[in-house]
């Protein structure tokens, strides 16, 4: 007969691309007893989560709720609702998640024009215009914070391009929601999805999505039914709205956790949360640079919650990560796709965005690199202290 | 600025169609600290979960893992992989979830033949044969435990029909996995999916799926790509197998909870778990009948974990449920679809399948019915005691 041992995971310091560590209050919320998914108390909680997501996304959109799946489920949900077979989609691809956007749009049957860019640089509005070649598109989709490269996109500038193309603007906000400025309404983003396991400091398993009124009108005007039932946002919306029409059994404890994560976000203040992430990221950048490590992305295009660091020549990058995990119980990420083996990805997200982690990861990296004979150009701490003094 | 109050859900006694209460050990597992989704310790845990699911499903299938979504996500995942546009699907529809199977198969583009049956009765192999009309089908799909009616299907008998039709046999095991006999290999089920929030006593949010070698061969022989990327089981399988190919960020804490739920299942023993569910269900049936309440489903076709009870004439069924929730913090379910307003659904699932709950729900129902002037035909307790004495 099968028998399993109890799982007793050690405490990790999670400074990779996500999941980030959960806030302790969020872990406590996860362990609260189950309510029925149609219990009046749970329905109230759902309303609070919707209100919280609207505030976090900075939108008045009626449609704002979590999909019961991970960030990729949110990506698929937005695309499968907005796109029909043979619709034209212009997709920015300068990293792993941009490529995934293009792939899912193709699966839905859209005619996809990829706008290819260097991994580690932002695509410009002119890159988009050139690739569009004067044609019209149903959507312009791109990644706001490209977790594979550490690049942030200028969504407000992309809105102007989308207007020229007659397109809805779709943005992947998995790594940016709650971690750096994101203005769904002010920037005119029509469709967005996010993750909970990054800057919100909740566990993975939900994907907050939002659609503008214009995007909803486009869904209502579809000529063909949505091929997915699970991701049919009109049905999910009926469940999350006052209709309470049964669609699926919400993952109750994940909703508790998201609610608690949002509560902590507003306790801190959204702008304060963004500033905290920026302060610690800048200190990290200063320290890494001072040590003599090169950052992949120019500062103006750099994602705040996740930093890509070039692996110095001759260094076995996987051995560095193993060293950090084994000696410090500290996780950072390796590269994905064409950056595999060439970068590390250091995330300072949610509860993990704090000074103790900045100084610890620098200290641990020095030890891991020294173990392979690489010597830091200088002690990073004075630069870190200076960054905090100026913050 | 938005501000949220902490969520402090009261303890509910969850005797509806699910979610059932989580075992306390499972709630504790949920609150354990996050591991990275590629952490070697987490990868070991994934392997244990796969082994546990194989044992719970009574299968040697290589493909057995949880989809990162709820039971409906599992349903969609199995159908979208097995069906291509214009494939013929024979679907048993004698309840709400059978109708959902047919609807999702249509969304995928299959030509669906529905085998309609009375809600509250099992479809027979001959019902299937008649509807098939001598034609061949890609799949024969039906619900093993129809949660909307409280009926269980005879899957072994359906295997013979599937063989005649040249079809793969697909079964919805959302409510049966871990709660009553289910023999994927012995019965020749090719595709199955389940829920975690029923007889496994874990939170909702994952859907264990399994496919037979024959089903996998059918997926490999597809002429068109799978329209869903999130539910593409070949990709998810690469993530769950030794390749560890990144697909999505697993909901770490939900996996902890499922692992713990499986650990408890094997500690108790699978057969013992089935017997426990049967023992308490029979005691409930005896008590309800003794009180003078009618059960919807004949005993030979009755689902063990969920019992459908007819609402007596003149009783406001929603008022009964409100009474139970407000006075006892006890939840039972109402009817769905065409049984709305006509039945209650009482679940004794997972950690909730115990004598205390049987006697409490009978006692509470008596009070709720008495409040509307309905008097029980007899005290149910002697019948309950007799049922336990004979168990």
Residue A24 has pLDDT above 70, yes or no: yes
What residue spans define the domains of chain B?
24-267, 270-390
State percent of chain B over pLDDT 90. 96
Q: Does B224 touch chain A (CB under 8 A)?
A: no
Per-residue pLDDT at B1: 61
Per-residue pLDDT at A391: 81
> What does the pLDDT average to over B276-289?
98
| Contact between B33 and A27 using a beta-carbon 8 Å cutoff | yes
Residue B111 has pLDDT above 70, yes or no: yes
Q: Does A271 touch chain B (CB under 8 A)?
A: no
CA distances to B18, B48, B91, B202, B357 from B21, in Å: 8, 23, 31, 8, 12
Per-residue pLDDT at A1: 61
| Contact between B6 and A73 using a beta-carbon 8 Å cutoff | no
| Contact between A6 and B103 using a beta-carbon 8 Å cutoff | no
Please give, rounded to a whole number of angstroms, the shortest distance from the CA of A326 to a CA of chain B: 11
Q: Does B198 touch chain A (CB under 8 A)?
A: no
Q: What is the mean pLDDT of chain A?
A: 97
- Contacting B residues, span 320-359, partner chain A, CB-CB under 8 Å: 325, 331, 336
| Contact between A7 and B262 using a beta-carbon 8 Å cutoff | no
Per-residue pLDDT at B242: 82
Q: Does B227 touch chain A (CB under 8 A)?
A: yes
How far apart, in whole angstroms, are the C-alpha atoms of residue A142 and residue A144? 6
| pLDDT, tens only, A152-202 | 999 999 999 999 999 999 999 999 999 999 999 999 999 999 999 999 999
| Contact between B32 and A7 using a beta-carbon 8 Å cutoff | yes
Parallel/antiparallel/unpaired status of strands A306-310 and A343-347: antiparallel
Q: Does B52 touch chain A (CB under 8 A)?
A: yes
- Contacting B residues, span 66-105, partner chain A, CB-CB under 8 Å: 68-73, 76, 80, 100, 103-104
How far apart, in whole angstroms, are the C-alpha atoms of residue B334 and residue B354? 21
Who among A8, A10, A37 is closest to B19 (CB)?
A37
Which positions ≥6 away from A349 have C-beta within 8 Å?
A: A18, A20, A175, A179, A198, A199, A201, A277, A305, A306
Q: A165-175 burial, b if ≥16 CB within 10 A, otherwise e? A: bebbbbbbbbb
CATH architecture of the domain with range A24-267: 3-Layer(aba) Sandwich (3.40)
> What does the pLDDT average to over B38-56?
96
Q: Do B24-267 and B270-390 show the same overall fold?
A: no
Q: Does A27 touch chain B (CB under 8 A)?
A: yes
Task: Locate A122 and state its tokens.
Answer: 């932002």
Q: Does B37 touch chain A (CB under 8 A)?
A: yes
CATH architecture of the domain with range B270-390: Alpha-Beta Complex (3.90)
| Residues of chain A found within 8 Å of residue B32, distances taken between Cβ atoms | 7-9, 27
Task: Locate A223 and state its tokens.
Answer: 């000529």
Residue B320 has pLDDT above 80, yes or no: yes
How far apart, in whole angstroms, are the C-alpha atoms of residue B253 and residue B231? 20
Under 8 Å CB pairs connecting chains A and B tally to 256
| Contact between B30 and A30 using a beta-carbon 8 Å cutoff | yes
How far apart, in whole angstroms, are the C-alpha atoms of residue B143 and residue B319? 30
- Contacting A residues, span 159-178, partner chain B, CB-CB under 8 Å: none
Who among B35, B68, B247 is closest to A69 (CB)?
B68
| pLDDT, tens only, A215-259 | 999 999 999 999 999 999 999 999 898 888 889 999 999 999 999
Q: Which of A248, A264, A326 to mutate to test the interface with B (most CBs of B within 10 A)?
A: A248
- Long-range contacts of the stretch A183-188 (C-beta < 8 A, 24+): A183/A58, A183/A156, A184/A57, A184/A58, A184/A59, A184/A61, A184/A210, A184/A212, A185/A58, A185/A59, A185/A60, A185/A61, A186/A58, A186/A156, A187/A155, A187/A156, A187/A159, A188/A156, A188/A159, A188/A162, A188/A212
How far apart, in whole angstroms, are the C-alpha atoms of residue A174 and residue A147? 8
Can you name the residues that pair with A319 across neighbouring β-strands?
none
- Lowest-confidence pick of A232-236, A369-373, B77-81: A232-236
| pLDDT, tens only, A301-351 | 999 999 999 999 999 999 999 999 999 999 999 999 999 999 999 999 999
Q: Closest residue of A to B254, CA-based?
A: A205
| pLDDT, tens only, A85-123 | 999 999 999 999 999 999 999 999 999 999 999 999 999
Q: Does A235 touch chain B (CB under 8 A)?
A: no
């Amino acid at each position: 007969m099968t028998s399993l041992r109890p799982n007793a995971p050690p405490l990790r310091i999670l400074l990779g691309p996500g999941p980030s560590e959960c806030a302790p209050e969020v872990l406590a919320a996860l362990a609260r007893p189950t309510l029925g998914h149609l219990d009046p108390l749970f329905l109230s909680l759902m309303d609070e989560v919707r209100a919280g997501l609207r505030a976090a996304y900075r939108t008045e959109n009626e449609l704002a709720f979590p999909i019961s799946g991970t960030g990729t489920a949110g990506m698929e949900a937005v695309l499968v609702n907005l796109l029909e077979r043979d619709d034209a989609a212009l997709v920015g691809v300068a990293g792993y998640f941009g490529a995934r956007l293009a792939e899912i749009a193709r699966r839905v049957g859209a005619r996809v024009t990829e706008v290819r860019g260097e991994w580690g640089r932002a695509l410009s509005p002119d890159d988009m215009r050139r690739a569009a070649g004067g044609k019209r598109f149903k959507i312009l989709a791109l990644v706001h914070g490209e977790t594979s490269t550490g690049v942030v996109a200028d969504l407000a500038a992309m809105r102007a391009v989308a207007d020229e193309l007659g397109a809805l603007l779709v943005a992947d906000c998995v790594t940016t929601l709650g971690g750096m400025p994101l203005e769904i309404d002010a920037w005119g983003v029509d469709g967005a999805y996010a993750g909970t396991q990054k800057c919100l400091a909740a566990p993975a398993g939900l994907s907050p999505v939002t659609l503008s009124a214009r995007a909803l009108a486009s869904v209502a005007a579809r000529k063909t039914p949505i091929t997915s039932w699970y991701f049919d946002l009109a049905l999910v919306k009926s469940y999350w709205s006052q209709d309470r029409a049964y669609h699926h059994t919400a993952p109750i404890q994940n909703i508790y956790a998201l609610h608690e994560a949002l509560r902590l976000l507003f306790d801190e203040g959204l702008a304060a949360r963004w500033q905290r992430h920026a302060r610690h990221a800048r200190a990290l950048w200063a320290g890494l640079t001072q040590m003599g490590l090169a950052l992949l992305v120019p500062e103006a295009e750099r994602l705040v919650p996740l930093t890509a660091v070039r692996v110095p020549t001759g260094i076995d990058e996987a051995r560095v990560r193993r060293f950090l995990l084994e000696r410090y119980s500290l996780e950072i990420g390796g590269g994905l796709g064409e950056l595999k083996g060439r970068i590390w990805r250091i995330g300072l997200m949610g509860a993990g965005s704090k000074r103790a982690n900045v100084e610890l990861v620098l200290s641990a990296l020095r030890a891991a690199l020294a173990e392979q004979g690489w010597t830091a150009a200088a002690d990073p701490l004075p630069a870190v202290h200076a960054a905090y003094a100026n913050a």
